[in-house]
């Protein structure tokens, strides 16, 4: 007997990093190595051209890759979004390193740190979504209605098993199938 789970699959949301990775690297060879590493890892890059851009564009959701040095130190108070630091021969201050998502010594290694960041953000969003209310039953596709779920009757209640959500009717149907399966097992045992 097959339990009919997952007829309507909850599609996992595929997380793509929205927009390019911002790169602040005043030294040309450092920028080129960072760009090659990021493009090699499948990301697009936007280079921040001057200090004003660094101060204004690093405020949002986008990930910034920044080369350590005196110019970054001057602007660090403006860094609001997530960032990865590239040492390239200059250690960041302890305070700045503590705020960074990651610190890499070599510009060519930044692709790995950015991949880790993207993966962590994807997992964090998945967890956040799982904590929200279920959207529909994984078995029959019935939509979840929070107001009806609070009312009387079990048919509108949803039960969650990890990533699978089931409406009350499907939970009842599965219970019935399980009882039938158990009854069949009992019959087989009695025959022996
Ligand atoms: Zn259902």
Q: Map out the domains of the chain as residue ranges.
A: 21-129, 146-191
Q: Are 69 and 26 in contact (CB under 8 A)?
A: yes
Distance CA 96, CA 73 (A): 8
From the CA of 113, how far away is ligand 1's center (Å)?
42
From the CA of 143, how far away is ligand 1's center (Å)?
9
From the CA of 104, how far away is ligand 1's center (Å)?
49
Position 136 scores a pLDDT of: 85
Tokens 């998502």 appear where? 101
* pLDDT tens track, the chain, 192 positions: 444 444 343 444 334 455 789 999 999 999 999 999 999 988 999 999 888 888 887 777 789 999 999 989 988 888 888 999 999 999 999 999 999 999 999 999 999 899 989 888 888 877 776 666 777 898 998 888 777 666 666 556 788 777 788 888 898 998 998 888 888 777 766 665
The CATH number for 21-129, chosen from 3.40.50.300, 3.40.190.10, 3.40.50.2300, 3.40.50.11540, is 3.40.50.2300
Position 9 scores a pLDDT of: 38
- Alpha helix segments (H runs only) across 4-134: 28-40, 51-57, 70-75, 94-99, 110-131
From the CA of 15, how far away is ligand 1's center (Å)?
27
CA dist 131 → 57, 138, 163, 173 (Å) = 31, 16, 10, 25
From the CA of 159, how far away is ligand 1's center (Å)?
10
> Tokens in use for 160?
């969650």
Position 48 scores a pLDDT of: 92
Q: Are 23 and 57 in contact (CB under 8 A)?
A: no
Q: Are 30 and 100 in contact (CB under 8 A)?
A: no
């Amino acid at each position: 007997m097959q339990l009919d789970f997952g007829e309507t699959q909850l599609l996992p949301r595929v997380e793509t990093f929205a927009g390019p990775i911002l790169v602040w690297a005043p030294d040309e060879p450092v920028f080129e190595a960072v760009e090659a590493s990021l493009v090699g890892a499948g990301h697009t890059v936007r280079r921040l051209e001057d200090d004003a851009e660094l101060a204004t564009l690093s405020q949002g959701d986008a990930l910034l890759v920044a080369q350590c040095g005196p110019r970054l130190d001057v602007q660090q108070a403006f860094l609001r979004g997530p960032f990865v630091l590239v040492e390239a021969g200059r250690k960041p201050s302890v305070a700045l390193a503590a705020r960074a998502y990651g610190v890499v010594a070599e510009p060519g290694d930044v692709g790995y740190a950015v991949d880790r960041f993207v993966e962590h953000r994807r997992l964090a969003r998945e967890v956040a979504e799982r904590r929200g209310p279920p959207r529909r039953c994984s078995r029959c596709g019935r939509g979840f209605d929070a107001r009806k779920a609070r009312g009387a009757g079990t048919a509108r209640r949803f039960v969650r098993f990890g990533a699978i959500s089931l409406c009350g009717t499907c939970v009842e149907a599965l219970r019935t199938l399980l009882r039938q399966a158990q009854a069949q097992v009992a019959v087989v045992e009695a025959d022996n």
